[in-house]
Structure 1
Amino acid sequence: MAEEDDGYALALRDVGRRAAEAIVLVARAGREVLGTLTLAAAGTAYADLAREDELEVRMLAVDPAAQRRGVAEALLRAAQEWAAEQGYPRLVLSVLSVAGPAIPHRLYERVGYRRNPGRDYVGSWDPTAVMWFYELEV
């Protein structure tokens, strides 16, 4: 695994730090953690894309043993519900345009996210990494 991947994996595992600086949603089955998702408001430590009153979806991670069981979709729907309860009008996220199979793209679109190519950007870590921008009106 590349060094950058190791750093990101460590950041994903450091849920305590994220929870102190952002909102972390957790999907569980009993005591077993199936996945997490981070929500970051514009101007906070974990927000890269969010503007003004947008809420950014970050670090959606599902345990490999729990994948293909609807965990990611449940977390995305819970994020939408939380955003609505808190008065956020829009959720935003980005995904690597060549992230292998189009599964993440289809998932986001299935739960209501729409592409906004006008806000696509190139990854700072790799000039060939194009990040596709998605948004969801809450």
Structure 2
Amino acid sequence: MSEGKKFDGEKPRFSLIPGGVLPPVINVLEFGAKKYSEGNWRQVENARTRYFDAAHRHLDAWWNGESTDPESGEHHLAHAICCLMFLLALDEPAEKPVPICKHNWQEATASGDARRTFICSKCPSQKSVSFSEVLP
């Protein structure tokens, strides 16, 4: 039997990301999506300044011994990482348009599912909600 090949030597190695750091960041993003709306950060006035300031507030709180943000219950560093990701995304060249989908949710719940599942017919987004929640 021949040895299998995969030509990925020059591709990004996501395995270098330390384990356990992405879930709190994703939790912060989910918290923000529920509180404001998905992608809302792209439409914030003076976003660069405001997310720069917010990142520093979270870093300062963490530096001064407060690990958890009192409102979200998530780590201040996860909030700072989100702010920095927003700044990195906003730093992309202006000629590169960032699509914002006005989701067209369609239910895709299978029988026996514990939660209702919705998919957008325009983009790859999915949303899972409890049966008691109403999708906006």
* Range of TM-score over shorter length: under 0.3
**Greater C-alpha radius of gyration:** 2
**Structure with a larger share of its residues in strand:** 1
Ranked by relative contact order (alpha carbons within 8 Å, sequence separation 6 or more), the top structure is: 1
